[in-house]
Amino acid sequence: MLYHLLYALHTRFSVFNVFRYITFRTIYAGLTAFLICIVLGPMMIRFLSEKQIGQYVRQLGPKSHREKAGTPTMGGLLIMAAIFVSTLLWADLTNFYIWIVLFIGAGFFAIGFYDDYLMQIKKRSCGLSAKGKILLQVLVAFMGGVMLYIYPDFSSKITIPLLKTFSPDLGYSYVLFAVLVIVGTSNAVNLTDGLDGLAIGPVIIAAATYMMFAYVTGHVKIADYLQIHYVAGCGELTILCGAVAGAGLGFLWFNAYPAQIFMGDVGSLPLGALLGAVAVITKQEILMIVVGGVFVVEAVSVILQVGYFKVSGGRRIFKMAPIHHHFELKGWAEPKVIVRFWIVAIMLALLSLSTLKLR
């Protein structure tokens, strides 16, 4: 909104010319989202505590988690409010991709909110059924995928990392591919959110990475130089990614070990969906496997554990899945697990950025 209000004044006051630059608006979108979380964080924690919206901790988990019971949760309300307000303030609101990503984020926010509402407020121990949650996620992602597919400027080709000339056109099946990326990323982030700061750290790192991907993919000259897909208009997603990273840093201020607040499904589901949607639009969908490598490993550890448990008649590969619990039960202190996962996430992000040159 500020872009529309203030850039128009640049003919009279040249200083407002700065609002045309995506880099400037990205920095301030990040700072705005960060400040919203920092300023409102303590009030949010007090509000959730007063409403007794505290985490129910299942007895199955590591014993060290028992003392976490009652920690205020649904902090995702604050994260998503910061992202939406900051994006609406600093992005070009005539940009189609901004609205598509916000639509998908809002849809997953609603699903996560309803799940948390049932679990934390109505005190139903399991919330939405797994099938119901997945179906709603697929529906929202499908609607987003169809809108992308029918948008005249958007191509249904996908990028294969490291391959410069091979980018297959998926046609109609592009919609299903987009659903897979968005729903998969959303649930992988959700599974990862099992230790203090464990999910929000890699979310910040992935958002910062896709901030760079969105910028170069939306810049005709840089895209041509790097020989990557040019997606006209997707540069505005740089600002949204800046808001996600800023909100994530603001939330991490309170979610850092020992956490004063958890994000809840109302945070993990939409954050993953936002990252998935940006990955799809910037044509770096498959690279999400690398950028979001921590999320992928967490999800795969669960799939392997549950699958092996079934075929082996009750035996386990890991001490407990997702894999962060395995390291906890091996004796790693929680902060050590968290920071080491962040280090891996940073290394994977750097590796993914290197593919822009390795083509």
Which residues of the shown chain bind ligand 57M in the complex (CB under 6 A)? 55, 57-58, 60-61, 65, 68, 73, 190-191, 193-196, 255, 259, 262-265, 268, 302, 305-306, 316, 320-322, 325
**Which alpha helices (H) appear in the chain, and where do they start and end?**
2-7, 22-50, 76-90, 96-116, 130-150, 173-192, 200-217, 220-226, 237-255, 265-281, 288-291, 293-311, 323-329, 334-354
Taking the complex as a whole, the smallest distance from the CB of residue 57 to ligand 57M amounts, in Å, to 4
Taking the complex as a whole, the smallest distance from the CB of residue 138 to ligand 57M amounts, in Å, to 18
Taking the complex as a whole, the smallest distance from the CB of residue 241 to ligand 57M amounts, in Å, to 21
Question: Which phi and psi angles does 231 have, rounded to 5°?
Answer: -115, 100
CB nearer to ligand 57M: give 159 or 192.
192
Q: What's the farthest any 2 CA atoms get from each other in the chain?
A: 75
| Cβ 304 vs Cβ 311: under 8 Å | no
Taking the complex as a whole, the smallest distance from the CB of residue 181 to ligand 57M amounts, in Å, to 19
CB nearer to ligand 57M: give 7 or 309.
309
CB nearer to ligand 57M: give 73 or 86.
73
Task: Give the contacts of 80 (CB within 8 A, at least 6 positions apart).
Answer: 105, 109, 247, 266, 267, 270
Distance, CA of 54 to CA of 73 (rounded, Å)? 6
CB nearer to ligand 57M: give 33 or 188.
188
Q: Cβ-closest residue to ligand 57M?
A: 61
CB nearer to ligand 57M: give 22 or 271.
271
Taking the complex as a whole, the smallest distance from the CB of residue 186 to ligand 57M amounts, in Å, to 10
Q: At what angle do helices 173-192 and 265-281 cross, to 10 degrees?
A: 140
Instruction: Classify 261 as helix, strand or coil.
Output: coil
CB nearer to ligand 57M: give 73 or 284.
73
What distance, in Å, lies between the first and last C-alpha atoms of the chain?
A: 38
Nearest to 144 by CA among 283, 237, 276: 276
Is the backbone peptide bond immediately before 322 cis, with ω within 30 degrees of 0?
A: yes
Taking the complex as a whole, the smallest distance from the CB of residue 229 to ligand 57M amounts, in Å, to 33
CB atoms near residue 343 (< 10 Å): 11
| HSE-up (13 A, CA, CB side) for residue 98 | 23
Taking the complex as a whole, the smallest distance from the CB of residue 130 to ligand 57M amounts, in Å, to 8
CB nearer to ligand 57M: give 244 or 281.
244
Taking the complex as a whole, the smallest distance from the CB of residue 317 to ligand 57M amounts, in Å, to 9
CB nearer to ligand 57M: give 137 or 305.
305
